[in-house]
């Protein structure tokens, strides 16, 4: 290090952030910049998880990842002669404000590109860019203008909660994704279709008609196949809830096959639940009881097995 003074070069050190993730709330279509506790740990290694640091822009960034010292502190500005070997890191996401479900997924590091983690079909829709979506928990409260669909999913054959089933809600030409928790409870939130109707007319707002009694047809499909779920931290030492029961996000969304739904208790099961969403009312999905005087509390589903 040389002497200091005006115009005197002292020292330069390049520090590279190997991973930065921007989490996104599909309900509000905005970044989640608070309340998340994000950590990374090298898979199959007995190291404590490394917590992410939240930047001023709300990105969760990691520095000091195990086995990535050469990536984070490159020697000079020259690129490496060959691409570095990638290592699997497990990312865990926990919301301290109880808005979103715990989430776990694996990322191969170093990334083959610079910048934020570019989400793929596993954690966000195609073409969504550098977004990693989080999913509403059953404990989340809904704001003004937000439609809510709830369900307690039940495994018809196993007679137990259908944990970690994935739901796809289609309404007004749009699709929204939800995930059941470890007790089979699911909540999907999305902007009320009334938001689009309010833009009708000239001036906007005069073409939607009376708000009371507004309704829209809705369709719900479920994917459920617990046997294919993978649990990255199930056998890790000193692992605590929820990571001892949390399957990888990829296996929840990509690996499970479509289930059939018992919309009527007497059957037959159907490929999709169909009904009506009313403005300002939560929609609770339930299997309709054979006895009209009885109200069931769950929505029964069944895995589809090959002949």
Domains of the chain, CATH where assigned? 19-134 (2.60.40), 146-224+259-302 (2.60.40)
CA contacts within 13 A on the Cβ side of 26: 23
pTM: 0.82
**How far from chain centre, in Å, is Cα 36?**
13
* Mean model confidence pLDDT for the chain: 84
pLDDT band at 121 (very low <50, low <70, confident <90, very high): very low
pLDDT at 230 exceeding the cut of 90: yes
Least confident among 82-91, 205-214, 242-251, 291-300: 205-214
How do beta strands 174-179 and 215-223 pair? unpaired
- How far, in Å, CA of 174 to CA of 268, rounded? 27
Per residue in 24-68, pLDDT (tens digit) is 998 988 999 999 999 999 988 888 899 999 998 889 988 888 777
**Cβ 217 vs Cβ 224: under 8 Å:** no
What DSSP line would sit under 62-108, residue for residue? E-S-TT-HHHHS-SSSSPPSSPPPPEEEEEEEEETTSSB--EEEEEE
pLDDT band at 123 (very low <50, low <70, confident <90, very high): very low
- How far, in Å, CA of 6 to CA of 18, rounded? 33
At 235 the pLDDT is: 78
pLDDT at 107 exceeding the cut of 80: yes
pLDDT at 18 exceeding the cut of 70: yes
At 127 the pLDDT is: 47
Q: How many helices (H) and strands (E) does the chain have?
A: 3, 20
Instruction: Name which of 193, 217, 221 is nearest 276 in CA terms.
Output: 217
Dihedral of the alpha carbons of 42, 45, 46, 51, in degrees to the nearest 10: 0
At 201 the pLDDT is: 53
Here the contacts of 10-14 (C-beta below 8 Å, separation 24 or greater) are 13/73, 14/73, 14/74, 14/77
What letter would DSSP give residue 250? H
Q: Mean pLDDT throughout 182-197? A: 86
């Amino acid at each position: 290090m040389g002497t200091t003074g005006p115009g005197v070069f002292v020292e330069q050190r390049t520090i590279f952030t190997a991973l930065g993730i921007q989490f996104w709330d599909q309900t509000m279509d905005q970044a989640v910049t608070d309340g998340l506790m994000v950590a990374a740990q090298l898979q199959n290694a007995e190291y404590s998880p490394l917590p992410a640091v939240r930047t001023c822009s709300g990105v969760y960034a990691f520095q000091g990842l195990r086995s990535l010292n050469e990536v984070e502190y490159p020697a000079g500005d020259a690129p490496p002669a060959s691409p570095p070997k990638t290592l699997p890191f497990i990312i865990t996401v926990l919301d301290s404000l109880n808005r979103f479900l715990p989430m776990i997924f694996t990322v191969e590091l170093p990334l083959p590109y610079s910048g934020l983690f570019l989400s793929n079909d596993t954690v966000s829709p195609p073409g969504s860019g550098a977004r990693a979506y989080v999913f509403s928990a059953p404990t989340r409260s809904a704001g003004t203008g937000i439609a809510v669909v709830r369900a307690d999913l039940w495994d018809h054959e196993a007679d137990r909660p259908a944990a970690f089933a994935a739901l796809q809600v289609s309404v007004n030409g749009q699709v929204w994704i939800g995930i059941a928790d470890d007790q089979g409870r699911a909540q999907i939130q999305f902007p009320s279709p009334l938001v689009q109707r309010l833009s009708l007319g000239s001036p906007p707002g005069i073409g939607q008609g009376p708000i009371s009694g507004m309704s829209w047809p809705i369709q719900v499909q479920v994917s459920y196949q617990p046997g294919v779920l993978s649990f990255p931290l199930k056998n890790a030492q000193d692992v605590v809830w929820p990571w001892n029961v949390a399957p990888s996000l990829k296996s929840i969304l990509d690996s499970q096959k479509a289930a059939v739904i018992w919309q009527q208790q007497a059957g037959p099961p159907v490929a999709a639940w169909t009904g009506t969403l009313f403005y300002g009312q939560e929609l609770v999905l339930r299997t309709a009881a054979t006895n009209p005087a009885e109200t069931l509390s769950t929505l029964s589903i069944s895995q589809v097995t090959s002949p």
